[in-house]
Amino acid sequence: MNRFALAHARTIADAAARATTTVADAMTAARSNATRPASLIKAGGIDVLDLMKENLLAPDMLVSLRDVAGLDTITEAPDGGLRIGAMVTLGALAAHDMVRRRYPALAAALAGAASPQIRHVATLGGNLLQRPRCWYFRAAAFHCLRKGGGHCFAISGESQYHAIFDNRPCAIVHPSSAASVLVALDAAIELVDADDTIRRLPLASFFVAPGRDTERENDLRPREILTAILLPPPAAGLCTAYLRQGERSAFDWPLAEVAVALVRNEESLCVHAVIVLGAAAPVPYRAQAAEAALLGRRVDDNAARAAARAAMEGATPLPRNGYKLPLFEALVHRAIMAAVAETL
Ligand SMILES: Cc1cc2nc3c(=O)[nH]c(=O)nc-3n(C[C@H](O)[C@H](O)[C@H](O)COP(=O)(O)OP(=O)(O)OC[C@H]3O[C@@H](n4cnc5c(N)ncnc54)[C@H](O)[C@@H]3O)c2cc1C
Ligand code: SF4
């Protein structure tokens, strides 16, 4: 790990001005032997310091957001939704009363992520922006496609933790547990640059699939700070669930995760269905065939099973991750039944 300076920004504009580049751009620039100094944002530091310890990143400076006022608050928005500062920790968010009452699937996703120690430090913004956990990507010896090489080692190699959908030319799974459930809840994000220009966009459209660019997972621009995650107010009758399955119950990323958001009308027919699979594809994956299987139907066990089967339509498992199909199918079925069993 290289020596580096640590700066503490006091304002968003200060942070945006001091952080010269994004982690993805810094890794690309390092390969081209660019000598210009790189300074990067640090939130909780869990992922950015991991990348430095893995010798994948050697910034001259980290710019901490810890002292920037207002980034670690959760406030009710005028429309009844929630504004979550990007520096709110996963632990604080999971324990927040309003989140637990109004967005229980989000609280469940965060309460199960990583470990208590990590949740105490890791922030929601950093969680959404962490880089993938593919073991070839994390090992400096493998110069794979995502690091500017010409080959994906996972597709023909050790693919057990990789994507079953949209897994060409790169088969990463998106690493953020928060992302799946936030997409299911139709969250938006707010980004601010050094000139105080604000950019708001749906979280779902912020993520970048490998077909568009193999070297970045999102559309964060240099000198831009993710300031907040914006949740719309829960629709009347909204019921949600989040379930995950991993090899271990803590201190690990999941093998499969499912977030469900449903609304039923007075006749108990499903009028809104969003089903998002995490650890399934390079970006949070909308299981649209499963959603279509529920719309207009009474959500009972048969409908949930049919939707779960439909969720696996179009899967292209790799040689070592076919086990994920029955795993996801079971989780989708259970998550739908858990959502309709929930009363807001
Ligand atoms: C053992 C282990 C198990 C884990 N299990 C899970 C799991 O189950 N689910 C899960 O989702 N995650 C899991 N994680 C990942 C962990 O949750 C993330 O590494 C963490 O959330 C990153 O947050 P951070 O605040 O530490 O980000 P940092 O490491 O500080 O930053 C991450 C990236 O985001 C950038 N950044 C951060 N905040 C901003 C901002 N506001 N504006 C602009 N750029 C910013 C940084 O420059 C950096 O590139 C696990 C980690 C470990 C070590
Ligand atoms: S899945 Fe992506 S990150 Fe992993 S080896 Fe293949 S190209 Fe690299």
State mean pLDDT over 177-192: 98
In the predicted structure, residue 344 carries a pLDDT above the cut 50: no
State mean pLDDT over 300-318: 98
Nearest-angstrom CA–CA distance, 307 and 292 = 8
In the predicted structure, residue 104 carries a pLDDT above the cut 60: yes
Instruction: Tell me the CA–centroid distance for residue 343 and ligand 1, in Å.
Output: 32
In the predicted structure, residue 343 carries a pLDDT above the cut 60: no
Task: Name the closest-CA residue to atom 3, ligand 2.
Answer: 137
23 lines ligand 1 (CB under 6 A): yes
**Starting from the edge strand earliest in sequence, which strands make up the sheet with 256-264, in order?**
239-245, 256-264, 270-278, 285-286
**Domains (range + CATH), the chain:** 5-66 (3.30.43), 239-341 (3.30.390.50)
Nearest-angstrom CA–CA distance, 107 and 74 = 13
Nearest-angstrom CA–CA distance, 238 and 106 = 13
pLDDT at residue 28, as a whole number: 86
State mean pLDDT over 324-342: 97
Q: Is 172 within 8 Å of 137 (Cβ atoms)?
A: yes
Nearest-angstrom CA–CA distance, 179 and 283 = 9
Give the pLDDT band (50/70/90) at residue 32.
Answer: confident
Q: Which ligand minimizes its atom distance to the CA of 131?
A: 1
Contacts with 192 (C-beta within 8 Å, 6 or more apart), sequence order:
12, 13, 16, 198, 199, 224, 225, 227
State mean pLDDT over 171-199: 97
Instruction: Tell me the CA–centroid distance for residue 254 and ligand 2, in Å.
Output: 18
Work out whether strand 74-76 and strand 198-202 pair parallel, antiparallel, or are unpaired: unpaired
Task: Name the closest-CA residue to atom 32, ligand 1.
Answer: 126
Contacts with 35 (C-beta within 8 Å, 6 or more apart), sequence order:
none
Give the pLDDT band (50/70/90) at residue 3.
Answer: very high
154 lines ligand 2 (CB under 6 A): yes
State mean pLDDT over 291-312: 98
Instruction: Tell me the CA–centroid distance for residue 341 and ligand 1, in Å.
Output: 32
Q: Which two tokens stand for residue 95?
A: 């324990």
**pLDDT tens digits, residue range 232-281?**
999 999 999 999 999 998 899 999 999 999 999 999 999 999 999 999 99
Nearest-angstrom CA–CA distance, 135 and 114 = 17
Percentage of the chain modeled with pLDDT above 70: 98
Across the chain, mean pLDDT equals 96
- Classify 85 as helix, strand or coil: strand
Which atom of ligand 2 is least distant from the CA of 137?
Answer: 3
176 lines ligand 1 (CB under 6 A): yes
pLDDT at residue 36, as a whole number: 66
Which atom of ligand 2 is least distant from the CA of 172?
Answer: 1
- What residues does 321 pair with on adjacent strands? none
pLDDT at residue 35, as a whole number: 60
Which atom of ligand 2 is least distant from the CA of 147?
Answer: 8
Give the pLDDT band (50/70/90) at residue 342.
Answer: confident
Nearest-angstrom CA–CA distance, 324 and 321 = 6
User: Is 41 buried (19+), middle (13-18) or exposed (0-12) by CB count in 10 A?
Assistant: buried
